[in-house]
């Protein structure tokens, strides 16, 4: 789309369906007067990985039901459940089995099975930019990750560890946080 709202040129480059079902973010909207003197509303969208962007009619967009609130409610519902190495739920979990289960149930996002693979798969976030719903990783370094939890704000996380699923502080002597990543941008 180019030109002012009263003299806009629109060129079709493709359909959103060809990109599968990624998360799209609307960054601006525009109303355009068409040649037949009707108006149409358009939204500028970008894919979560910023590889695809462009204008689409607003009628082809629906608001996501994925939210941090949904994720947090699913995560909290498992507080107190037992830790079992290799378990992926719904009643027992290991750390990455827990994050995989919560993201699948609450955000329809299929995380890799182990913590190291979860860290490798998604965009890295600095500690200062961490948002609720990001994953926080622990280990001796980013090449040797041994634990993962879900950041819930205020320096806390919910995770599955030896004492079961707990809400606990991230920065304590027995954990060494080495990185954050963002599988879903709940803040957008």
In terms of pTM, does the model score above 0.75?
no
pLDDT band at 130 (very low <50, low <70, confident <90, very high): very high
Average pLDDT, rounded, for the chain: 86
pLDDT at 188 over 60: no
Contact (CB, 8 A) for 150 and 166: no
Segment 8-19 mean pLDDT:
68
Centroid of chain to Cα 121: 12
Strand order across the 53-57 sheet:
24-33, 39-47, 53-57
Percent of the residues in the chain that have a pLDDT greater than 90, as a whole number: 56
Range picked from 27-31, 110-114, 183-187 for highest mean pLDDT: 110-114
The closest of 161, 186, 188 to 69, measured between CA atoms, is 186
Place of tokens 């750390």: 95
pLDDT at 34 over 80: no
Q: Which residues of 33-62 are buried (b: 16+ CB within 10 A; e: fewer)?
A: eeeeeeeeebbebbbbeeebebbbebeebe
Cα Dmax for the chain? 68
Give Cβ neighbours of residue 54 (< 8 Å, ≥ 6 apart).
1, 13, 44, 45
pLDDT band at 42 (very low <50, low <70, confident <90, very high): confident
Q: Which residue has the higher pLDDT, 186 or 88?
A: 88
> Which residues form the catalytic set?
95, 147, 159
Segment 116-137 mean pLDDT:
95
Q: pLDDT at position 165, please?
A: 98
Segment 71-85 mean pLDDT:
95
Task: Please provide the size of the chain in residues.
Answer: 188
């Amino acid at each position: 789309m180019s030109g002012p709202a009263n003299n806009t040129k629109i060129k079709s480059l493709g359909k959103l369906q060809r990109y599968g079902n990624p998360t799209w973010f609307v960054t601006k909207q525009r109303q355009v007067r068409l040649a037949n003197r009707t108006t149409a509303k358009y939204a500028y969208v970008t894919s979560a990985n910023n590889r695809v962007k462009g204008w689409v009619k607003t009628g082809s967009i629906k608001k996501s039901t994925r939210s941090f609130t949904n994720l947090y409610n699913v995560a909290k519902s498992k507080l107190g459940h037992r830790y079992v190495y290799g378990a992926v739920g719904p009643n027992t979990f290991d750390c990455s089995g827990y994050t995989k289960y919560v993201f699948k149930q609450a955000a329809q996002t299929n995380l890799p099975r182990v913590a190291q693979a979860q860290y490798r798969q998604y965009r890295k976030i600095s500690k200062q930019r961490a948002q609720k719903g990001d994953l926080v990783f622990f280990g001796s370094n980013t090449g040797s990750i041994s634990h993962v939890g879900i950041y819930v704000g205020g320096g806390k996380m919910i995770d599955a560890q030896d004492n079961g699923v707990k809400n606990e502080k991230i920065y304590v002597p027995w954990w060494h946080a080495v990185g954050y990543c963002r599988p879903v941008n709940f803040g957008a």
